[in-house]
Structure 1
């Protein structure tokens, strides 16, 4: 029995050693550390810019204060064509009805660049995933906030804040990820020229598809990054972890140098209705709070004035009629 036990142990040890060696060799099935970000963030290959603050448990792009911008950028370009990025994040703050602006996930040619698009550069080259929380959004749209959307730019289109980016959006979905008591995640998958964004924000431990867009063409050699911004409205925007995976696919070698192609997309979402603030600021369906109350009071006063004027005119006409009979 002792001999058999020793033999079993020896077999198990050899099997374990084989698995370890196989795991080390087949690295395509495992997380790529050079593009990942995990606690305790010691020696992390990421650079910080702006208001970004490092702690033991999270990296805060902006705190819950007005007029802040922060960014977090990977030092190494992504040289693989098919990949998936899992981000654990937390957006939270004191605001209950008014908050913003949100954060963005980037795969771009540019890095460490500050700007007006969720804290980073406009007219970028590459892919952006916008996690938009701006509660007082510009004009009436057919969705609620927070809202997740994607955009691909070759440096010529630009993100239009006045339209909430609706005219350059590939696709989007509502995702109520703000001020939750549990962990929240988003996954960005790019494989075979298809972009898929999924979320885990319902504390169910599984991915729910937000949207899928085919015909998305992204070069290799771009950088991963995160950025966030606050304006008059604010929130804490925290990145807790980012895990990058190279995907095993059956792509054929077509001889194309994918480091030199232009970022592009074959399909865009249909533009949603939008009314500029200057023209539509007093439409009832775009108002809230005290503005709506003021409009209602003005309407009531206007109706009252019209009724009073009408009553006075009616009395005058009645008096004139009586005078004609005397």
Structure 2
């Protein structure tokens, strides 16, 4: 980067042409970088959520919420850092814009150091306000789901760490597989260490010309870092935006601070006929093999919840059977020993 130098009117004449050229180049590069995510766009309030949230009473204009969601002056908490909670907030205005970009400012934090979960999801779906098993929302769904998965004791055939961001396109026929953390149905994903940060964290979802791009700002650098980009994605108009979160045996606070929606179509663009079919993606990411470590963490990590409970019960039954057989054998030996003395 260049140092900023203050020039007086008397010193301006002494600036070398080379310095002026370098300064102009820097300004042009900065302008291009700033426009990378903000060309032709303007914010649409009907799909945005910014402070102050509340309208009259406890209502949030153009947004509805359910479950454990709590609205405060500075954030909207989908779930508290408590077990078995689920909450959601949904925009009640259908989106008929073909190309758009969504910026979500969020914060995921809690008291857990090594065990925490489960995460939250950002939605663009046909139906809304339907609680369910995918981060607090309905399964199956029709539309787009962006999952910010923090479940620290991960499952299934994959070798990535958590937190993890992934995308799923569903035409209503697919079920989210919790045993594999959605690996079998995701179209792309990336690791993103966004939990328990001391500064603001953001995710940007851009859909333009059948291309889905997800980027993050989780390093406090005031700039976007691409997480993944997928071509050949078709999303129909007329769906709803929303966000939901859930906790299970593990928990976290899942806070939404702002949602800003940008229209990329512009007023003078020549758009084709809006797509109204079912959501589709040209390809899904193939499942990856899970890497087992030398300590057998995969075996222990997968034995969670009811699976671990069943295994413990079977072990207790097995030990009990062995003890009973051992007692019977011992008694038989004692009986045979007494017979030899008569």
Question: What interval of TM-score do these two structures reach, taking the shorter chain for normalisation?
Answer: 0.7 to 0.9
Whether 1:41 and 2:53 are equivalent positions in the alignment is yes
Deviation of residue 273 (structure 1)?
Answer: 2.2
Instruction: Please report how far the alpha carbon of residue 172 of structure 1 lies from its aligned counterpart in structure 2 after TM superposition.
Output: 0.2
The answer to whether the 8 A contact 2:97-2:263 is kept is: yes
User: For 1:219 and 1:99, how far apart are their aligned partners in 2?
Assistant: 35
Question: How many corresponding residue pairs?
Answer: 257
Q: Is residue 141 of structure 2 the alignment partner of residue 124 of structure 1?
A: yes
Distance in 1 (CA, whole Å) between partners of 2:63 and 2:206 is 21
Cα deviations across residues 129-149 of structure 1 (Å, max 9, x unaligned)? 000000011135221000000
Structure 1 residue runs of 4 or more that deviate by more than 2 Å after TM superposition: 248-254
Per the normalisation by structure 2, the TM-score is 0.71
5+ residue gaps, structure 2: 1-39, 56-60, 304-342
Q: Does 1:114 align with 2:131?
A: yes
Alignment of 1:94-173 (within 5 A): 94-139=111-156, 141-173=158-190
Distance 1:115 1:244 in 2: 25
Structure-2 change in CA distance of 1:137 and 1:251 (3 Å): farther
Equivalent residue number for residue 321 of structure 1: none
2:186 maps to 1:174? no
Matched, 1:199 2:216: yes
3-state DSSP class of the match of 2:179?
A: helix
CA-CA distance at 1:248 after TM superposition: 3.2
Equivalent residue, structure 2, for 1:273: 289
Distance 1:253 1:244, change over 3 A: closer
Alignment correspondent of 2:258: 241
Q: TM-score, normalised by structure 1?
A: 0.75
| One of 74, 82, 92 as aligned partner of 2:91 | 74
Mapping for residues 18-29 of structure 1, pairs under 5 Å: 29=41
1:262 aligns to 2:262 (yes or no): no
Consecutive unaligned residues of structure 1, counting only runs of 5 or more, are 1-27, 292-326
